[in-house]
């Protein structure tokens, strides 16, 4: 029986006053009854508009129908036919601008909670398996080797799909653990690391080999990989090189890139007392930017003991690219939005430590190329008293691969150029995710990885036919 309630079944959450004292997950997930009730809100549209909004083509109505009838394992199997990381995607995908944006229920109310239901299916499957990864079925080996550079969302997605097709896949990861931005970038209160580890193990169970502490472009080059017998190479190395503002005082002590700050917090466990990770626990913090990374950094700073955390953004809240849910959670946690404000100088004391940041007060003019209204200075200025500044205004790919790969074309921002989204200028070399687009979302990177896997399969089969 259909549930015609206009609003989603609420998701239980930690109380804001409690959660700012810990790094435990904020949202607590549906139970069986809530999931089945929410699933009943799906109209099972014949034209399935929600599927067209999913970069990895999850068969959404089919898995939701399985949830509705209580066939939770069946629902999980349907999801994992196309999505290797469902528990991750259920938590961090911007569903509101993708699958849920296409949902018919959203016309006269809230869309079906597709992301919450995906998370429920993955979590329940893991719990039923007692957190023991399940060996998945793959095709017999075809004897062909493929190398994947980077064990982030794009690389893991590409590797998993290739393994299912019978390829021998080795993923080369520069860090000491797999996961990429899932490990170093997204805090545990949004994405618990045991969940990341579990889903990576599911990929490894497909036969994927992950070789850690291997920097492509330094330890090995792309050309080295071909010499080692790999028939094709996928570049999914992400975009980990931070951008800065280029303003005076940016080299002061207490100024972080968001990448460095979040890596220290997440990968280097700065939030745990038993780890001696160097990080400033400042009382007054400013975070510059307006995306999800800004929200992550600001909410981490609050949990590390900051009394005041200000998000400094040159446009209004309406133009913020961050997810509405993350903005909502940040506000609940007492984080201040300092809008229409653009930093122009950072000041430090005689020891080089940050003391304040001077900003232009902005107004919004006509829309620019992004479609958002252009921020323009009013002529007024203001000063924020801060002890730390975290800059989150974008990232670009690390230059190592492009510098050591002759014939690999890149654009002005250092992103790999492709002819069709995944095929590069070098024969046998494919690329996807943030290495191609610049910093984007987990699910878009995974979609690119899936597309690249198909392109690699086509390429290697074509080469075989040519003899």
* pLDDT of 133 strictly over 80: no
Look at residue 135 and tell me whether its pLDDT is greater than 80: no
Take residue 92 and report the two structure tokens written for it.
Answer: 């961090």
pTM tops 0.75: yes
| Per-residue pLDDT tens over the stretch 376-429 | 999 999 999 999 999 999 999 999 999 999 999 999 999 999 999 999 999 999
Max Cα distance, the chain (Å): 70
Exposed, middle or buried, 435 (CB in 10 Å: 0-12/13-18/19+)?
Answer: buried
In sequence order, the 6+-apart residues with CB closer than 8 A to the CB of 5 are 41, 109
Percent helix, strand, coil in the chain (nearest 5)? 35, 20, 45
Q: CATH number for 145-240+395-466: choose from 3.30.1330.30, 3.50.50.60, 3.20.20.70, 3.20.20.10.
A: 3.50.50.60
Give the number of residues written for the chain: 467
Provide, rounded to the nearest whole percent, the portion of the chain with pLDDT above 90: 90
pLDDT at residue 308, as a whole number: 97
Q: Name the residue with tokens 């309406």.
A: 318
Per-residue pLDDT, 201: 93
Structural tokens at position 441: 């979302």
Residue 463: its pLDDT value, please? 86
Look-up: residue for tokens 């670009």? Answer: 396
Q: Which long-range contacts (CB under 8 A, 24 or more apart) does 374-377 make?
A: 375/314, 375/315, 375/340, 375/342, 377/342
| Mean pLDDT for the stretch of residues 280-302 | 96
CATH value of 245-391 in 3.40.50.150, 3.50.50.60, 1.10.357.10, 3.40.50.720? 3.50.50.60
Report phi then psi at 167, rounded to 5.
-85, 150
| Residue reference for tokens 């200000």 | 310
Tell me the two tokens of residue 348.
């430090």
Closest to 22 measured CA to CA, from 271, 196, 297: 271
Nearest of 119, 130, 242, 220 to residue 174 by alpha carbon: 220
Report in angstroms the alpha-carbon separations of 281 from 140, 146, 301.
52, 44, 8
Q: Between vectors from CA 344 to CA 340 and to CA 347, what angle results, nearest 5°?
A: 120
Between residues 80 and 140, which one has the greater pLDDT? 80
Per-residue pLDDT, averaged over 108-137, amounts to 85
Whether the Cβ atoms of residue 446 and residue 89 lie closer than 8 Å to each other? yes
Burial readout 248-284 (b: 16 or more C-beta within 10 A, e: otherwise): ebeebebbbbbbebbbbbbbbbbbeeeeeeebbebeb
Which CATH class, in words, describes the domain spanning 16-128? Answer: mainly alpha
Residue 330 has pLDDT above 80, yes or no: yes
Instruction: Concatenate the DSSP letters of all residues of 164-177 into one string.
Output: HTT-EEEEE-SSSS
CATH topology agreement for domains 145-240+395-466 and 245-391: yes
Give the span between the Cα atoms of 356 and 52, in whole angstroms: 47
Tokens of 318: 């309406």
pLDDT score for 412: 92
Alpha-carbon span 235 to 155, nearest angstrom: 8
pLDDT classification of 1: cutoffs 50, 70, 90: low
Average pLDDT, the chain: 94
Q: In this structure, what token pair is assigned to residue 240? A: 């980990």
Beta-carbon contacts of residue 210 (< 8 Å; ≥ 6 apart): 151, 170, 171, 173, 178, 200, 204
- The residues spanned by each domain of the chain are 16-128, 145-240+395-466, 245-391
C-alpha span between 152 and 236 (Å, rounded)? 7
Asked whether residue 137 carries a pLDDT value surpassing 80, the answer given is no
CA distance 260 to 390: 9
Could you report the per-residue pLDDT of 162-188, keeping only the tens digit for each? Answer: 999 999 999 999 999 999 999 999 999
121, 86 contact by CB (below 8 A): yes
Q: Whose structure tokens read 């690391």?
A: 193
Q: Is residue 34 within a helix (H) or strand (E), and if so which, with residue range?
A: helix 32-39
Cα distances from 268 to residues 61, 121, 177, 238, 277, in angstroms, run: 40, 30, 11, 19, 6
């Amino acid at each position: 029986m259909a549930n015609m309630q206009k609003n989603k079944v609420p998701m239980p959450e930690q109380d804001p006053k409690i959660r700012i004292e810990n790094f435990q997950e904020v949202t607590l997930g549906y139970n069986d009854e809530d999931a089945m009730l929410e699933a009943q809100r799906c109209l099972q549209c014949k034209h399935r508009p929600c599927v067209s909004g999913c970069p990895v083509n999850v068969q959404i109505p089919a898995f939701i129908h399985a949830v509705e009838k209580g066939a939770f394992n069946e629902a999980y199997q349907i999801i994992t036919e196309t999505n290797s990381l469902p528990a991750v995607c259920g938590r961090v995908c911007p569903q509101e601008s993708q699958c849920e944006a296409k949902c018919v229920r959203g016309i006269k109310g809230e869309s079906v909670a597709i992301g919450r239901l995906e998370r429920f299916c993955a979590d329940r499957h893991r719990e039923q398996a007692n957190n023991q990864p399940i060996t998945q079925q793959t095709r017999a080996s075809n004897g062909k080797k493929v190398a994947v550079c980077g064990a982030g969302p794009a690389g893991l997605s590409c590797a998993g799909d290739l393994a299912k097709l019978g390829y021998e896949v080795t993923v080369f990861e520069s860090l000491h653990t797999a996961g990429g931005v899932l490990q170093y970038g997204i805090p545990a209160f949004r994405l618990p690391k045991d969940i990341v580890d579990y889903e990576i193990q599911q990929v490894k169970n497909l036969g994927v080999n992950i070789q850690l502490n291997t920097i492509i472009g330094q330890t090995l080059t792309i050309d080295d990989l071909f010499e080692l017998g790999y028939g094709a190479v996928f570049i999914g190395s992400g975009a980990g090189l931070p951008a800065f503002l280029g303003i005076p005082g940016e080299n002061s002590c207490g100024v972080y890139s968001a990448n460095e700050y979040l890596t220290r917090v997440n990968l280097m466990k700065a939030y745990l007392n038993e780890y001696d990770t160097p990080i400033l626990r400042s009382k007054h913090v400013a975070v510059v930017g307006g995306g999800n990374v800004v929200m992550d950094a600001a909410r981490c700073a609050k949990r590390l003991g900051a009394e005041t955390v200000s998000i400094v953004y040159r446009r209004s809240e309406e133009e913020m690219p961050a997810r509405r849910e993350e903005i909502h959670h940040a506000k609940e946690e007492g984080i201040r939005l300092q809008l229409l404000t653009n930093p122009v100088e950072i000041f430090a004391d005689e020891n080089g430590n940050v003391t304040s940041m001077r900003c232009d007060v902005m107004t919004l003019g006509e829309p620019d190329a992004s479609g958002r209204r252009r921020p323009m200075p009013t002529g007024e200025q203001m000063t924020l008293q801060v002890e730390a500044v975290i800059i989150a205004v974008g990232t670009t790919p690390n230059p190592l691969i492009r510098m050591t790969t002759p014939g690999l074309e890149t654009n002005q921002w250092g992103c790999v150029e492709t002819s069709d989204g995944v095929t590069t200028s070098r024969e046998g070399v494919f690329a996807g995710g943030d290495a191609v687009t610049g910093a984007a979302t987990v699910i878009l990177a995974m979609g690119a990885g899936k597309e690249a896997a198909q392109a690699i399969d086509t390429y290697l089969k074509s080469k075989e036919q040519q003899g």
